[in-house]
Chain A
Amino acid sequence: EGSDGKYHVGSSSMKAPAKPIAGNNYGHHCKPECFRSRHDDLKEMLDSNKDSLKLEAMKRIVAMMARGKNASDLFPAVVKNVACKNIEVKKLVYVYLVRYAEEQQDLALLSISTFQRGLKDPNQLIRASALRVLSSIRVTIIIPIMMLAIKDAASDMSPYVRKTAAHAIPKLYSLDPEQKEPLIEVIEKLLADKTTLVAGSVVMAFEGVCPERIDLIHKNYRKLCNLLIDVEEWGQVVIINMLTRYARTQFLNPNANEVLLEEGEEKEFYGSDEEEGKEEKVEKKKPYVMDPDHRLLLRNTKPLLQSRNAAVVMAVAQLYFHLAPKAEVGVTAKALVRLLRSHSEVQFVVLQNVATMSIKRKGMFETYLKSFYIRSTDPTQIKVLKLEVLTNLATETSISIILREFQTYIKSMDKDFVAATIQAIGRCATNIGEVRDTCLNGLVQLLSNRDELVVAESVVVIKKLLQMQPEQHSDIIKHMAKLIENIQVPMARASILWLIGEYCEHVPKIAPDVLRKMAKSFTSEEDIVKLQILNLAAKLYLTNSKQTKLLTQYVLNLAKYDQNYDIRDRARFIRQLIVPTDKGGALSKYAKKLFLALKPAPILESPFKDRDHFQLGSLSHLLNVKAGGYQELPDWPETAPDPSVRNVEVMDKRKEKKKVEKPFYSDSEDESRLTESADSDSNTGSGSESSSATEESDSGSKSEDSGGESESEQQEKPNRKADKSRVKPWDVSNWEDFNNNNEEEKIQPDWINCKHTYTHLASKGSKINSFSCRINSMANGLELLKLFWHSRVLFVCILPCSAQTISPTFSSLKTYELLHRLTGEGLAVGYCFGRQPFVRDPHMVTVQIQFTNHMDTEARNLRVREPRLQSGMRIKEFPEIEVLPPGETVTTVMGIDFCDSTQAANFQLCTHTRKFCVSIQPPVGELMAPVFMLENEFKKEQGQLMGMNEIKETLVLGEACQSDYAIVQRVTAAANVGQVPCGSDQEFAGKTMTSNSLVLVTVITKRDRTAQLTVNCEKMVIGTMLVKDILHALSQ
């Protein structure tokens, strides 16, 4: 609060024309009479050259807008500042412009060119905000400009701008629905976008513009399911709701068969679900198998139940309610109950939905019964809803606890709530036959309650209950009849009178007496009571005319002159019916049948019954009325539509092929020969690859144009690549052809050739691709590559010769000091990470230790003692070195399992005389081992490690790091990873020693010496640290 005070002091000393600024003295200084002059002040300030004055003026204008004061006459003065350099002024001008442009269309056009310029700005924030404002200006004349801008932005490199484009779509649509078709095209394009940033917004646009075009979703369905967890929370809600609807049109009802099987049991519990039951019978024939896509949706939404956002949790809950097999719906209950501890507005909405769910899926909330107990501090509307849920949940077993709970509620001071409780007891009594008598007795006890409202409500409920089995309860009816003298609440009096009339044969003595009393007080009764008096009189007249004839006529006479039309009418009607006259109305002989017919007992049912035909969680469900723009939840289809529409070419083929691959390799003994066709395949492959390479460089030059926008460009990359692969999936299709032809290798001779080719080409990274095509063409496929690759990086000899013939690419391993010769009193110890797999344990990192004895005497019994390790770490000591003569050096090897952490391994190094505490701390890059992988595999794995698991950095390459070869050297030196052989970028793969988590490194170089480094790793810590190390290595 103090801050603004200071601000004002400062500004008034600056000789501002008007003292108050911004929110100061808000509300007091704006008397209409001073408006004119004040606005002139503002205009002056806006026209000045000083940004500070302009800002002040804009702040005051915004404050006026906030208060709802009209500031439209300032439009010309404000719009001039649309191109102001000061960004805050500019922003406030935008705010103003969007608010008033609709009223001042002509003047608003002056600003358009500024935004059009902004759309081309190299800064993505400026592009986005220009589009945002441009599309918010509701001026019809600029519709074509908007359309163009949206189309352009939809293919912008920055995902943020694309997101803004998605937001702009519904704006334009609401301004001009004629634009629907071209807008759908843009939506279709954006739906294919693979960034999480865009996903939520474009689905929002889809829902606003063309929710009926479910066909646009097919191809994007799986992608949306997979991205969902990384989309921002608001987008998640929209996507989940949309997918619920989608799933209802594409998959089969998972509960169809279950319901059929358990029909007997079902009927009792869910007696209301008749339509469901019918449906099932039709589909008896085939057993239900859930579509994998259906399962995918259920699986991927489940973790979101843990979201902190109530709307997300609710969205998942409704998805499960509408789509999941009955047995699985229960998983959402816990999360919904959690929401009951949130703000009361959240509780209100959640309880409404729980009430609907609890009717159909009673079982899911049974264990949480106590969570719906009412607290004395709950607002009434919450109490009533909780009561509703409790009533719905009542079963034979839980009813006694619930009734005891209700009993305490009746003592509440909140009378509306007490009335609702009594109603609830009545409903429990009708639903559960076993407790009907208990409830009735309880309610009768309430009749002696001191509070009249309680009594009255009880009477009304008892009346309904009695109607179910009146003959057993004539004593209660008698009791009630006596109450008429005390109860004043009209509704209760009317109910009692009705009861007496209806069951007058059970109370033959009391009934006429009651009528006598009522006749006396007739004129002072409320209308509903009067009507019931007439009713009672008529019934008594018909059953006991001896005693009541006169009374009835007296009452009818009174009613004849009543002020109320209805009562006069009723009296006339009854008189004609029951009193035999000369004219003899034809109906009078049926009078008994008319009045004393057996009336069906009223059904007390929940107001939430059948509300689930609205999608849960929706506004329409809450209001139980279809709201504007509500999309109906379709019924399940009888037969599932073709599931293949969701297949996406590239991805899917690969999945299918995966399955084929296994047998392919295991059958590899029956060798087949290389054929011509494979060769031709490889040709086409290399051809298309080279063209895509040129595209690559194109995009590179584009990024230069856009100037310093590296981060957006990086985001863009994967997309573009994905696009490319869709157009020319050379790598994939090639592989498939191999598989299909089932051709096999002639390993040995070619392998040697190949190796030479490779070492030759490795130095010229650009040719690696053509090399890879060659490998492909040799058709010995993965096996060969694997062999080859291992031999290069891992020094693992799969073929005996390779160990000798191939030398490491990095000539020297970096040596670290373990013990300095001075501290070691002449014994110097160094270590390096050998990068071979540790023979005895695959999870251990190999550490080579080199001892040098600088002493004059020999060192003996060199060994490791007392390792002090972090939990989980393990160490495999080197065998004790018995003697190390002076001046000699010896090297040994030990293995350490670092548990994928960079925590140091501490231990003691002992000689026969001394011991030294030492520690080995691994650089993060040594915690992994290379993995062989092809590019498509790499891309796939990378695709699964998005979101939190992906770290991107841009860097400037160091002087010595310009060539691709150097980059490979540096990266492999920094981390023990292996290069992906035929990658279009520099791609490296490894996996951590302990947990075998994949570590994927990508380096994309650009022309201007910058490069982008991406690390995907499930272990984020490792990822983060690795990025740093590699960054360091490359920028040196």
Chain B
Amino acid sequence: MIHSLFLVNSSGDIFLEKHWKSVVSRSVCDYFFEAQERASEPENVPPVIPTPHHYLISVLRHRIYFVAVIQSEVPPLFVIEFLHRVVDTFQDYFGVCTEAAIKDNVVVVYELLEEMLDNGFPLATESNILKELIKPPTILRTVVNTITGSTNVGEQLPTGQLSVVPWRRTGVKYTNNEAYFDVVEEIDAIIDKSGSTITAEIQGVIDACVKLSGMPDLTLSFMNPRLLDDVSFHPCVRFKRWEAERILSFIPPDGNFRLLSYHVSSQNLVAIPVYVKHNITFREGSSQGRFELTLGPKQTMGKAVESVLVSSQLPRGVLNVNLNPSQGTYTFDPVTKLLSWDVGKINPQKLPSLKGSMSLQAGASKPDENPTINIQFKIQQMAISGLKVNRLDMYGEKYKPFKGIKYMTKAGKVPEGRRDEAALP
């Protein structure tokens, strides 16, 4: 399936190559570079590029292109999903997935890639199995290995490979047994100029960090499971149990993993936790425009709105801005026309505002587009949908684990787009 893999950095250098079948010359990447040049933005490079003899399927993560070379029919998502899994694995192993980290650990990277694919077909992609085969590099282990001559490579077939729970390694032991769950919700909304919501939806994930000895069997139940409209599970979750009882029952992998992603049904009204008052005007004939923006919290159940970041793409006609933030700092890039304002925490008593003037290109006509405003924020200790975990039980092991759960809400990819409404065409 996957013939070869090339890693390309943002300046267009191939800094790693790996082949699983006969070697494909790296000149095949020229087609990729061509497409890259044609694309205006890095993310506009088509994920699938046909070339005379091969097909290139690529993903862009951490400003690195992972370019897989394919020779014949294969579901493109299969390759894309696999490449993302590779990136996740690197991140898991090295903490970050950067060019430097990959170069520093090139041998481990190579060993990993060797285990993950056999003849281009995925072999072991579960992090727990890989970690038994190839131990992640740590300072201590590197030193020990140097002295004792022992290796990072496991000699036995990971038990997970054969067991019915391939995602969990065996023989896990901890002195402190703990299980943490983070319920993170993202709110995605488009709001029109007048402040009414066009679409709003909530997506959530439950990320877990489970460090429990032995083979614990966990069940996690919710106070209000009906909220969850659409879910996708880590393979460890027993689907039937969920279908029947709306309970998450699973033997967890060891370490960090994403237990569940969910979508809150759109029937439930989504309360947008912040509002924006804005007044952005350009006058015809004048080279000045006015800019006023005020933020305020609403429906946050008393929780503070933090890490607020406002960004807006101003019209091309804007030369520069002269603004005065009541708190935080703002930057304006005159080339990309991107205004961003790092607000910080919203104080309900003293609402943050950003006011001032914009200078326009002399003689240019009044820009007719209304800028879109994007807002990022975080609210700790609250899941905006109201989802609540009821309890977590452990079976199968005798010890008492420490259990923790954390809630957080943040803005999704595009929390608020403020757009000009006009009459129907």
A306 surroundings in chain B (CB, below 8 A): 231-233, 239
| Contact of A450 with B by CB under 8 A | yes
Kindly list chain A residues whose C-beta atoms are within 8 Å of the C-beta of B365: 450
- Min Cβ gap A212→B in Å is 14
- B390 CB to closest chain A CB (Å) equals 11
Interface residues of B in 195-209 (CB under 8 A from A): 198-199, 201, 203
Q: Of the candidates B77, B110, B198, which one forms a contact with A349 in the assembled complex, judged by CB atoms under 8 Å apart?
A: B77
Instruction: Return chain B residues, CB-CB under 8 Å to A66.
Output: 16-18, 106, 109-110
| CB-based contact B48/A10 at 8 Å | no
Residue A87 interfacial (CB < 8 Å): yes
Tell me if A197 counts as interface (CB < 8 A to partner B).
yes
Residues of chain A in range 612-663 having any CB-CB distance to chain B below 8 Å: 617-620, 622-623, 625, 627-631
B73 touches A379 (CB 8 A): no
A617 to B414, CA, bound (A): 28
* Tally of A-B Cβ pairs under 8 angstroms: 323
Q: Which residues of B contact A62 (CB under 8 A)?
A: 106-107, 110
Contact with B along A1-43 (1 / 0, CB 8 A): 1111011001100100000001110110000000000000000
Whether B16 and A67, one on each chain, are in contact in the complex, defined by CB atoms closer than 8 angstroms, is yes
Q: What's the minimum C-beta distance from A121 to chain B, rounded to whole angstroms?
A: 12
A679 at the interface (CB under 8 A from B): no
Partner of B190, one of A1, A311, A373, A1024: A373
Q: Which residue of A lies closest to B42 (CB)?
A: A379
- Do the beta carbons of A338 and B263 come within 8 Å of each other? yes
| Chain B residues, Cβ within 8 Å of A952 | 163
Compute how far the CA of A952 lies from the CA of B163 in the bound complex, rounded to whole angstroms.
Answer: 8
Contact B425 A439 (CB under 8 A): yes
A857: interface (CB < 8 Å): no
The residue from B70, B104, B152, B159 contacting A88, defined by CB atoms under 8 A apart:
B152
Give the contacting residue for A411; candidates B48, B58, B420; CB below 8 A.
Answer: B420
Q: Is B422 an interface residue (CB 8 A)?
A: yes
A334 to chain B, nearest CB (A): 5
> Which one of B40, B78, B313 has the highest number of Cβ atoms from chain A below 10 Å of its Cβ?
B78
Partner of A99, one of B23, B40, B123, B138: B23
Q: Which residues of the other chain, B, contact A619 by a CB distance below 8 angstroms?
A: 48, 55, 70, 73-76
Contact in complex: A26, B104 (CB < 8 Å) = yes
Known: A87-B151, A88-B152. A315 touches B122 (CB 8 A): no
- In the bound complex, do residue B72 and residue A628 qualify as a contact, i.e. CB atoms below 8 Å apart? yes
Check A668 for interface membership: any CB of B closer than 8 A: no
Sorting the interface of chain A by its residue count into under 10, 10 to 19, 20 to 34 or 35 or more gives 35 or more
CB distance from A124 to the nearest CB of B (A): 6
* Contact present for A10 and B147 (CB under 8 Å): yes
Bound together, the chains give a CA A951 to CA B109 distance in angstroms of 34
A836 an interface residue at 8 Å Cβ cutoff?
no
Check if B151 sits within 8 Å of A160, measured CB to CB: no
Q: A241 within 8 Å of B by Cβ? A: yes
CB contact under 8 A between A311 and B103, given known A68-B26, A125-B156: no
**Binary contact readout A192-204 vs B (1 if CB under 8 angstroms, 0 otherwise):** 0000010001001
B212 vs chain A, min Cβ distance (A): 13
Flag if B424 contacts A407 (CB, 8 Å): yes
A425 and B425 contacting across the interface, CB-CB below 8 Å: yes
Given A307-B232, A413-B369: A164 in contact with B77 (beta carbons within 8 A):
no
User: Known contacts A62-B107, A951-B164; is A52 also within 8 Å of B72 by CB?
Assistant: no
Query: Which of A339-347, A467-475, A905-913 touches B?
Result: A339-347
Residues of chain B within 8 A of A377, CB atoms compared: 374, 413-414
CA distance A617 to B249 in the complex (A): 31
B43 within 8 A of partner (CB): yes
Q: Mark A63-88, 1 if CB is under 8 A from B, else 0.
A: 10111100000000000000000111
Q: Which of A230-238, A556-564, A591-599, A730-738 is the interface stretch?
A: A230-238
- With A88-B151, A346-B77 in contact, do A308 and B368 touch (Cβ < 8 Å)? no
Q: Which of A3, A136, A630 contacts B142 (CB 8 A)?
A: A3
Docked Cα-Cα span, A88 to B149, in Å, equals 10
From known contacts A23-B104, A1024-B396, infer whether A411 and B419 are also in contact, taking CB-CB under 8 Å: yes
Please tell me if B80 contacts chain A, counting CB pairs below 8 Å: yes
Distance (whole angstroms) from the CB of B393 to the closest CB of chain A: 9
Give chain A nearest CB distance to B71 CB in angstroms. 7
**Most A CB atoms within 10 A — which of B147, B368, B419?**
B419
Answer whether residue A970 sits at the interface, using C-beta atoms and an 8 A cutoff. no
Q: Are B107 and A3 in contact (CB under 8 A)?
A: no
Instruction: Tell whether A851 is near chain B: CB-to-CB under 8 Å.
Output: no
Is B166 interfacial (CB-CB < 8 Å)? yes
Q: Does the CB pair A438–B425 fall under 8 Å?
A: yes
In whole angstroms, what is the CA distance A446 to B238 when docked? Answer: 55
Residues of A within 8 A of B138 (CB): 3
Surface stretch bound by A, among B111-119, B296-304, B345-353:
B111-119
C-alpha gap A753/B201 in the complex (Å): 72
Q: How far is the CB of A333 from chain B (nearest CB, A)?
A: 10
In chain A, residues 191-222, which have Cβ atoms closer than 8 Å to a Cβ of chain B?
197, 201, 204
Question: In the complex the two chains form, what is the Cα distance from A235 to B150 in whole Å?
Answer: 35
A618–B75 CB distance below 8 A: yes
Looking across the interface, which residue of chain A has its beta carbon closest to that of B122? A234
A128 to B106, CA, bound (A): 25
Which chain A residues border B199 with CB–CB below 8 Å? 370-371, 373
Q: Is B82 an interface residue (CB 8 A)?
A: yes
Q: Do B164 and A230 touch (CB < 8 A)?
A: yes
CB pair B78–A445 under 8 Å, yes or no, is: no
Contacting residue for B424 out of A22, A341, A380, A400, CB 8 A = A400
B325 at the interface (CB under 8 A from A): no
Q: Which of A14, A66, A237, A310 has the most CB of B within 10 A?
A: A66
CB-defined interface of A306-337 with B at 8 Å, one 1/0 digit per residue? 11111101110000000000000000001101
23 A-B pairs with CB atoms under 8 Å apart are A22-B107, A23-B106, A68-B14, A95-B114, A132-B118, A303-B239, A308-B261, A310-B77, A311-B80, A343-B80, A345-B80, A348-B46, A375-B190, A407-B424, A407-B425, A408-B420, A411-B368, A411-B420, A446-B425, A450-B365, A628-B73, A948-B251, A1020-B251
3 closest Cβ contacts across the A-B interface? A442-B425, A629-B72, A1021-B395
Given contacts A27-B103, A68-B26, A623-B55, 7 further A-B contacts (CB under 8 A): A10-B146, A65-B110, A346-B84, A348-B47, A377-B374, A377-B413, A403-B424
B interface vs A, CB < 8 Å?
A: 1, 14-19, 21-23, 26, 40-41, 43-44, 46-48, 50, 55, 58-61, 70-78, 80-82, 84, 100-101, 103-107, 109-111, 114, 118-119, 121-123, 125, 137-139, 142-143, 146-147, 149, 151-153, 155-157, 159, 161-166, 188, 190, 192, 198-199, 201, 203, 215, 217, 229-235, 238-239, 243, 249, 251, 258, 261, 263, 266, 313, 315-316, 365, 368-370, 372, 374, 395-396, 413-414, 417, 419-422, 424-425
Residues of chain A at the chain B interface (Cβ within 8 Å): 1-4, 6-7, 10-11, 14, 22-24, 26-27, 51-52, 55, 59, 62-63, 65-68, 86-88, 91-92, 94-95, 99, 102, 123-125, 128, 132, 135-136, 138, 158-160, 164, 167-168, 170-171, 174, 197, 201, 204, 229-230, 232-234, 237, 241, 303, 306-311, 313-315, 334-335, 337-338, 341, 343-346, 348-350, 370-371, 373, 375-377, 379-381, 400, 403-408, 411-413, 425, 438-439, 441-443, 445-446, 449-450, 617-620, 622-623, 625, 627-631, 711-712, 715, 901-902, 946-952, 1020-1021, 1024-1025
